[in-house]
Structure formats: structure tokens, C-alpha cells
A and B are shown apart, each in its own frame.
Chain A
Amino acid sequence: MTLLTVNNLTVEFPTPDGSVQAVRETSFQLSAGETLAIVGESGSGKTVTNLALMGLIPKRTANISGSAIFETQDGPVDLLSIDRDELRKYRGRDIAMIFQDPMSALHPFYTIGDQIIEAHQVHNKVNIKVSKVRTIELLEMVGIQGAATRLNSYPHQFSGGMRQRVMIAMALVNNPSLLIADEPTTALDVTVQAQIIKLLDDLSKEFKMAMILITHDMGVVAGAADRVNVMYAGRIVESAEVRDLYANPLMPYTQGLLASVPRMDRPHTNRLSTIPGQPPSMIALPDGCSFNPRCGRKSEVSGSRCEEQMPELTPRGNQHFARCFIGESS
């Protein structure tokens, strides 16, 4: 069953220097229970895509267009066009979100119990004791020892990894069908990162919950995702099943990303490879393919097509899509 269908999502931020096109004509689908990773460099539009879906971009600061049909408990809704007040009903209940930095994402003045119970109470007309029981259950599920007493602790009394577990418990308290995890491990110790990813992976299976995992860590992607969307300069440039993407990256940018990941199974004397140049300014994107100024393979394309024409995201078989003239069957 398709849970979410995003069609032609475009997010622009008007600024005095010109319009920042953070996300452009992005379309993708997500099935129930599926984990989709969105990867890309900072500023590639991965976070903005998801904030737009959650309705967390203030309307006066951005122009948002396109549609995002989401299957809620009450039937399909377009997350981008419904009233913000109505959207509130689905936030935290059907879609939940966890953020990059669990220290700043939890309110420092309230106990974690208060904060999770509040998240349950807002969508369930039940006695507060019921919410409390549910909260303890969730905290135990995410691996917090002595959950019943830890309920009365404040965020600063937890370590970073534990705080992210609290955030996860809070996100799952209403059993959402979609969890958006925005770089959930970036602010954490390396040793804790793997635990959190494993926890998310286990819980998404247990709750039969779809997940959008935003990250720039290709290692995280390999461990947890079913599908991967690679974003560059506000557009999806490649989309594939995770195994397929690793085995056969088609877009030179994806190839560059994968080559820059340190690998245990390769000789470690080699220097890590990098992608030359910098991500383009989102106000003045280069003509043609946004990646062309940094692309090492554009000589393989005849003439100056890469500089003149934006390639389309075309199917390459086996549920694999790429936005590149190389290997295009035309």
C-alpha cells in the first residue's frame, strides 16, 4: 500500500538576494512500512523536503507548491494544501518526527515524562494515568532503564544517546504510520550512532511503521534503508533499492558519495576520495545539470549537453532511477 505520494514538491524561500530554491519539483513515493533514506550534502534540500511535509515551515517565509497525499487514519489528505490547524491533528499522531540534536529538541524546563505524556494526551482523550502507563511502556521499549522513575528526570540529566531514545519514545507514543528522522545520529557519539540506528530499525519493524531517514552518512543508509533517494541542489538525482544503489550507482554524484565513504573491505592505505568543488549557490544554480561544474564524467556526454539541459529522472530498470545523460537509453 502506498502511504505517501509526493508530487512536484517545490519550496522556495524569497530573500533580498533572490529566491532560494531549496527543493525543486521533487516527486517520490513511500509504501507502508518501508524505510526510505534521503541522502545528500548540507543544503541539498533533504531537511526542507520533510519540514514541508510536516507543515513546519512558516507559510510567510516560503512558497510551497506541489502535493503530498498521505494516508491517515481518516483517509488520504494532501499535507501541503490542508489547513495548518487541520494538519495539527495528524502531526504526532500519523506522522512523527525526530530531530538532529536531542538536547535542543527537548524542552529544558519540563521532565521527559511531562513531554511524552503531553504528546499522548494531545491526540488521545484518555485519563493522564493511561498516558503515563503508555509513556513508561515506550521508554522501556527504547531501552531506558528504570523508566518509571526516569519519567521525572529532566533532559539535561540524560546523555545524548539517551535523549535521542527519549525523542524516539515521544515520537512513537501515538503509534504513527510514518516517522521522519532528520539526521538522528549526527549529534551523537560514534559508538551510540549504531545503537540508535538499530533501535529505529527494530522499532520500525515492530510498529510496522514507514520511516524517512534523512542523513548524509552512507553507512547509516546501508544499515537501515530499503530505498534511497540521493538529493543534489534541491532535486532527486538518483533513486534505487539500497543494494542496487551500492552495487551500481549511476549518477556521478552518487558514485562520488559512495567513493568518499571509508570502507573496511578495501585497503586502508588509500586516501579517501572527495568530490571536487563546492555545492552550488541555491540562488544562482548553474545552467543545465546542477552537478555539471563538479562532474568528472561530463566528457562522456556529447557536445555541451550537460551545461545546457537539465536531465530528467529516468528509469534504468529494476526500480532504479537516475538523473544523468550517461547511460540514458535515448
Chain B
Amino acid sequence: MAKTVIAYVSRRLTVSLLILFAASFAVYVIFAFLPFDPAALTCGKNCNDPGIIEANRHRLGYDLPFFTQYFLFLKGLFFGRSFGEGAALINCPAPALGYSFQEHGCVTTLIGEALPVTFSLAIGAIVMWLALGIGLGILAARFRGRIVDRLSTIFVLIGTSLPTFLTGLLLVVFVVIRWRLIPFPSGNYTSFFENPFEWAQILLLPWLTLAFAYAALYTRFVRSSVIDTSNEDYIRTARAKGLSEGVILGKHTLRAALAPIATMAGLDFAGLLGGAILTESVFNLPGLGRLAISAVTKYDLPIIVATTLLAAFIVVIMNLIVDILYAYIDPRVRVS
């Protein structure tokens, strides 16, 4: 058993690494063949001095052939990388993802600052939407056609139609300003380890905003999954055994009905970690999404490459985790 698990995980890891390698290449190709001169972008909008541009080009290695550049990029990931020489030497330790001339810093450092923000946003939101979506979905399925189900349908309709930026603004306008239910999140993002209370206070509205949209989707999904599973023959068997409705729902129906939720939640979580662009922008959170969007507006190519690659990395890793988890949940998957 343990042996097959190790074999399975290592096989999946190998495939994941190959996928990441392919993804990094694809992203780097975009970088290299986009009709922008990355070196020209390094010295600002009104910079016309070809001397500075050429110097920067050389310093950042943009004068090297494509494959050499790509190789240096990969090498930097594992061994770190330095740009320039002498007094202007910049050292980016491994895993180095490049140097941003717009932000004046190693991309890895910038990401290292943004990632915890996005992670905090995503983790709180997923807890909320899973609790709400699963709970409401089960209730709606259990009392199908009754008032709870009708109300959940309305919730689903609103939740799936409202874009997050609008939900976020509405929450700010009503919950904070009109009704004063929550004090206005004052100040900047605070790390959980610095002050957990302030962390939660600042993130509460963004969590609600994200959770609202996702919870609606999950409610709909859980409802139909529970209803489908209730019609399975093995649920009829459970009933024929004389089990109570509570045990049938809690043990037999939900185990099967919620298994696909693990996959869905894993991938949605990965998607959010890649950057919740709108929510971060509305609430002014310095997360990955905002880093990426500001990089796009400023043509900050090293950051664009890095954030894209990071998003791919997260999706691949989450996929792996979800698959392993799924094998644990569903014994039929283990054999193949």
C-alpha cells in the first residue's frame, strides 16, 4: 500500500515538473517575442538615451540569444542570479525570477511580499464559502421545493450574477458606511503574525465579497450533487438496512456527494492564489493580483512572467494535492 502510494506520488511529481518546465518555456517565449523592447522599458517613458538603454540591455542579459536567456532564467530559479557588475551589482538569491526595473527590486522579493496577502485573502474566503455553500446546498437538497430551497435559488441567482467588484463596493457602501456594522478597515494590510485581529478586520469585507460569489456556485453544485446521490441505488440499500435519515444523509449521501467538491475547491483555491485581481483592487490589498495588474499596465515584463509562472505552479501543485486527496476519499481511484 505505502509502496504504491509513493510510486503514484513520485510519478505524478515527475509529470508535474514536466508541465511546469513546459509552462515556463511558453511564458518565456511570450516575454521574448512580445513587440516590446524590455530594455527600452527599463528607463522610463521619456527616456530616449540609447546609451542607457543599451547599458541596461547588457546588464539584464537581454542582449543574449533567446535560449541563453531562457537558460539563465532557469538557472536563476535554482541558484540565484546577479545583474550588472561592480557598484551597480544587484544580487537576487534563488529562486530568482528576474529583476524589476519599475519596482526596483528582485521579483522574488516582490512576490514574497504579495503572496501572503493573497493567501490570507484566499484562505479566509474559501473557509467561508465552503461553510456557506455546502451548508446551504445540503439544506436546499434536503428540503427540495420548500422555502429554504427557494431562498437558496434566489441567493444563487444574485451571487452568480453580481460581479465581485460590485459586490465589494456594495458591501463597503452599505455594511460599512450606511449601516456601520463593521468599522471601516483602517490602515494597510497587517500580517496575521503581527496582529491577527487587525488582519481579520481588514480582510473581512474582501472575504465576504469573494465568498459571496463562490458560495452561490457551490450551493448550486452541492444541491444538485446531493440530489443526484440521493437517487443512487446504494442510498436505497442504506434505507433498506433500516438506517435513520440522518445517518443516510451524513454518512452515505454526503461522502459521495461532496467528493467532487474537493476537486472543485482545490482548483478554485489555486485560481485565487494566482491573484484575486478585482477584489484586491477594490479593497486596495497589496496582493499578487494587484502586483500583476500594475505590472501589466507598466509593461513590467519580469513581474508578468513571474506571476504567470507562479500561477501555473500553484495550479499544478494544487492539482497534485487534489488528486492525492481524491484517492484518499474515493477508493476506486487508488487502483488505477
| Interface of A toward B, CB cutoff 8 Å | 54, 56, 88-93, 96-97, 99, 101, 104-111, 118-119, 122-123, 154, 156-157, 167, 170
Q: Which residues of A contact B330 (CB under 8 A)?
A: 108-109
- The answer, among B233, B240, B332, for a CB contact under 8 Å with A54, is B240
With A99-B233, A104-B234, A109-B256 as contacts: A123 and B243 at CB distance below 8 Å:
no
The reply to whether B242 and A90 form a contact with Cβ atoms under 8 Å apart is: yes
With A105-B234, A106-B234 as contacts: A122 and B331 at CB distance below 8 Å:
no
Q: Which residues of A contact B247 (CB under 8 A)?
A: 122
The reply to whether B331 and A92 form a contact with Cβ atoms under 8 Å apart is: no
Docked Cα-Cα span, A289 to B233, in Å, equals 34
Q: Which residues of B contact A88 (CB under 8 A)?
A: 242-244
**Size bracket, chain B contacts:** 20 to 34
- The answer, among A93, A104, A119, A123, for a CB contact under 8 Å with B233, is A104
In the complex, B150 has a CB within 8 A of chain A: no
Closest residue of chain B to A119 (Cβ to Cβ) is: B241
- The answer, among B237, B239, B331, B335, for a CB contact under 8 Å with A109, is B331
Docked Cα-Cα span, A122 to B237, in Å, equals 13
- The answer, among A97, A108, A167, for a CB contact under 8 Å with B331, is A108
In the complex, B329 has a CB within 8 A of chain A: yes
The reply to whether B332 and A99 form a contact with Cβ atoms under 8 Å apart is: no
Closest residue of chain B to A108 (Cβ to Cβ) is: B332
The reply to whether B241 and A118 form a contact with Cβ atoms under 8 Å apart is: yes
How near does chain B come to A242, taking the closest CB pair, in angstroms? 27
The reply to whether B234 and A122 form a contact with Cβ atoms under 8 Å apart is: no
Q: Which residues of A contact B242 (CB under 8 A)?
A: 88-93, 119, 122-123
Docked Cα-Cα span, A106 to B329, in Å, equals 16
Additional A-B contacts beyond A109-B259, A170-B237 (11; CB < 8 A): A54-B240, A91-B242, A104-B232, A107-B237, A108-B332, A109-B255, A111-B331, A118-B241, A122-B243, A157-B335, A167-B237
Q: Which residues of A contact B244 (CB under 8 A)?
A: 88
Docked Cα-Cα span, A275 to B71, in Å, equals 78
Q: Which residues of A contact B232 (CB under 8 A)?
A: 104
Docked Cα-Cα span, A92 to B236, in Å, equals 12
Closest residue of chain A to B237 (Cβ to Cβ) is: A105
Docked Cα-Cα span, A92 to B332, in Å, equals 27
Q: Which residues of A contact B255 (CB under 8 A)?
A: 107, 109-110
Docked Cα-Cα span, A109 to B244, in Å, equals 19
Docked Cα-Cα span, A282 to B34, in Å, equals 69
The reply to whether B331 and A96 form a contact with Cβ atoms under 8 Å apart is: no
How near does chain B come to A121, taking the closest CB pair, in angstroms? 10
The reply to whether A108 and B240 form a contact with Cβ atoms under 8 Å apart is: no
A-B contact pairs, 27 of them (CB 8 A): A54-B240, A89-B242, A90-B242, A91-B241, A92-B241, A92-B242, A93-B242, A97-B240, A99-B233, A104-B233, A105-B234, A106-B237, A107-B237, A107-B255, A108-B256, A108-B331, A109-B255, A109-B256, A109-B329, A109-B330, A118-B241, A119-B242, A122-B241, A122-B242, A122-B243, A156-B331, A170-B241
In the complex, B57 has a CB within 8 A of chain A: no
